[in-house]
Amino acid sequence: MSSLMPMKGSGDADLTVIDEFDGGVGWIAYPDETMERASHALSVDGDVWVLDPVDADGVDDLLADLEGDVAGTVVCLDRHKRDAAAIATRHDVPVYVPDWMTGVATKLDAPVERFGRELGGLQAITIRDSSIPPWQEVGLYDEGGGTLYVPESVGASSYMRTGTETLGVHPMLRLFPPRRALSGLDPERVLCGHGAGVMEDAGRELAAALDSSRGNAPGLYAKAIGQFLG
């Protein structure tokens, strides 16, 4: 993997909008980083929820363009504290964390609220809650609006996909994809915590990612080795 591509960007951000649709927006604060950390905001029933955000100049302008006021930021993966506290503080709202997620709330420098199976009209889907590997992840589904957000298990960044995939299962989960949590969902769009979302045929692409996860695993691992050696 090229040394010119840092895993995570730092310093001055260069906000790039990646997903725009009626009721939502997504952005990448550091478009040149390998991890392609994506942030999103959804407007649901008059409230704006900011999901796993990385901050940058211009974020508040994106939020202001959505219908409603910011109700909170949301940490959907135990490793995705990111800038949730900073943005929540700026908007004088809490950070929302699933009621079963551990080791996160005490590390956030902002008021924390817990939520269970629902958050402001969004269905909360437990995708993974494991100790080996340590991984706590919740997806959020606006079924009426057709939007599914998956923070980590499925993504569109280059390191998660083979050349034939639009969406790919995370390399660490390739042999055990989250079929139980995500199979059967048919969203209009899938937003990801890494990479641009899938805005067309999203239900089919999600099903394909889950179904081909194991079969495509060798190709993904070979790609990763090639990038590393290159």
Q: What is the pTM of this model?
A: 0.93
CB 50 within 8 A of CB 94: no
Overall average pLDDT of the 157-172 stretch: 93
Split at pLDDT 50, 70, 90, the class of 4 is low
HSE-up of residue 125 (Cα within 13 Å, Cβ side) = 21
What residue type is 175 in one-letter code? L
Question: In this predicted structure, what is the pLDDT of residue 6?
Answer: 72
Residue ranges of domains in the chain, CATH in brackets: 16-229 (3.60.15.10)
Planar angle of CA 121, 151, 128, nearest 5 degrees: 90
- Other CB atoms closer than 10 Å to residue 7's CB: what's the count? 10
Tokens of 81: 């504290």
